[in-house]
């Protein structure tokens, strides 16, 4: 029997004004899975994550998260749903004037009536899970990039979310920190029984981590499948993206007249000549 869906999207459209950002998106993410959403910058990946998180509402179509209709949900129900979500932002987004401990404890203090002694114990357990219990008294500015990302991950799992969302979790990390974050995502997903959605450009690290991949291009899902199916894809765009090829459907050269028409041409005919006249 197939696992129940954590996220179900059917014929979703989203537009800013008259500009289509996402078109006819269909997606099913089973509970307990780790799914990647990949594609070029500006293709609509982060917009899709914001729709799932309830920051935006679809222009058309259906979107259900943990059984809730995100097109019809009211504000109170949305806030209740968000307490079952965790979010790791691209650069951590820690509160810079709070210690690592207070960053992780923040949600428990805001959204629960737990005693401070219990919050203390739970916070230390979350920091232990990401290897930072010894850094609990440090300020965010005293952390390396990888440590800050791990502290942000501890904060994101503070309320044991059913759904975790990661926006470019590997950006700017060295290979060791990248491997640590990838392992933590997998281990925490299994330990907490969480569903994870990762928006990422990092193909190789993500392919070793996720169960399924959705490729987005110009607001449309152009390919989907297991990591092995995506690696073997014959679609030119997907092949170029996965293997990092310089030229293909996404061209290396910005559109321009043939260079042969410009070499040796009179200065007045060259691009930008009028601006320097």
Tens digits of residue pLDDT in 102-158: 999 998 898 888 999 999 999 998 898 888 888 889 998 898 888 888 898 889 888
Nearest one of 90, 89, 4, 21 to 57, comparing CA atoms: 21
Judge whether 263 lies within some domain: yes
Give the CATH number of the domain where residue 215 resides: 3.40.50.300
232: DSSP letter = T
**Helix, strand, coil fractions of the chain, as percent rounded to 5:** 40, 25, 40
For residue 174, what are its two tokens? 């060295």
Judge whether 98 lies within some domain: no
Burial class (CB in 10 A: 0-12, 13-18, 19+), 124: middle
**Ramachandran angles phi, psi of 155, nearest 5°:** -65, -40
Reported as a pLDDT band with limits 50, 70 and 90, residue 177 is confident
Distance CA 2, CA 68 (A): 19
Domain count, the chain: 1
Range scoring the smallest mean pLDDT among 137-146, 166-175, 209-218, 265-274: 265-274
For residue 215, what are its two tokens? 């490729």
Judge whether 41 lies within some domain: yes
For residues 129 and 181, the answer to whether their CB atoms sit within 8 Å is no
Domain containing 187: what range? 5-84+161-276
Residue 275 has pLDDT above 60, yes or no: no
Distance CA 29, CA 245 (A): 29
The residue among 31 and 90 whose pLDDT is bigger is: 31
Q: What percent of the chain has pLDDT over 90?
A: 23
Q: What is the mean pLDDT of the chain?
A: 83
Q: What percent of the chain has pLDDT over 70?
A: 87
CA 205 from centre of chain: 14
For residues 61 and 233, the answer to whether their CB atoms sit within 8 Å is no
Instruction: Give residue 3's pLDDT.
Output: 75
Give the H/E segment covering residue 94.
none
Judge whether 266 lies within some domain: yes
Judge whether 127 lies within some domain: no
C-alpha distances in angstroms, 51 versus 64, 147, 187, 204? 10, 29, 26, 26
The residue among 142 and 91 whose pLDDT is bigger is: 142
Judge whether 114 lies within some domain: no
What mean pLDDT comes out for the span 258-275? 62
Judge whether 129 lies within some domain: no
Judge whether 35 lies within some domain: yes
The pLDDT tens digits for 42-67 are 677 888 889 998 888 988 899 999 88
Q: What is the 3-state secondary structure (H, E, C) of 162-214?
A: CEEEEECCCCCCCHHHHHHHHHHHHHHHHHHCCEEEEECCCHHHHHCCCCEEE
């Amino acid at each position: 029997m197939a696992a129940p869906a954590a996220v179900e999207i059917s014929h979703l459209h989203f537009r800013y004004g008259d500009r289509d950002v996402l078109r006819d998106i269909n997606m099913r993410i089973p509970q307990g899975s780790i799914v990647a959403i990949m594609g070029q910058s500006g293709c609509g990946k982060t917009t899709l994550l914001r729709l799932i998180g309830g920051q935006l509402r679809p222009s058309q179509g259906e979107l259900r998260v943990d059984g809730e209709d995100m097109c019809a949900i009211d504000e109170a129900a949305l806030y209740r749903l968000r307490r079952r979500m965790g979010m790791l932002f691209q650069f951590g987004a820690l509160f810079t004037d709070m210690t690592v401990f207070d960053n992780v404890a923040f949600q428990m203090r805001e959204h629960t009536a737990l005693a401070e002694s219990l919050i203390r114990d739970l916070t230390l357990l979350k920091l232990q899970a990401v290897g930072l219990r010894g850094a609990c008294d440090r300020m965010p500015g005293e952390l390396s990039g990888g440590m800050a990302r791990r502290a942000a991950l501890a904060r994101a799992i503070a309320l044991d979310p059913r759904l975790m969302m990661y926006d470019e979790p590997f950006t700017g990390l060295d290979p060791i920190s990248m491997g640590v974050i990838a392992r933590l995502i997998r281990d925490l997903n299994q330990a907490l029984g969480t569903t994870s959605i990762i928006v990422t450009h990092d193909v190789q690290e993500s392919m070793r981590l996720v169960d399924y991949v959705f490729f987005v291009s110009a607001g449309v899902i152009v390919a989907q499948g297991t990591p092995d199916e995506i690696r073997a894809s014959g679609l030119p765009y997907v092949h170029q993206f996965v293997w990092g090829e310089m030229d293909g459907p996404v061209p290396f050269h910005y559109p321009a007249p043939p260079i042969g028409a410009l070499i040796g041409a009179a200065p007045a005919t060259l691009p930008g000549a009028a601006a320097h006249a």
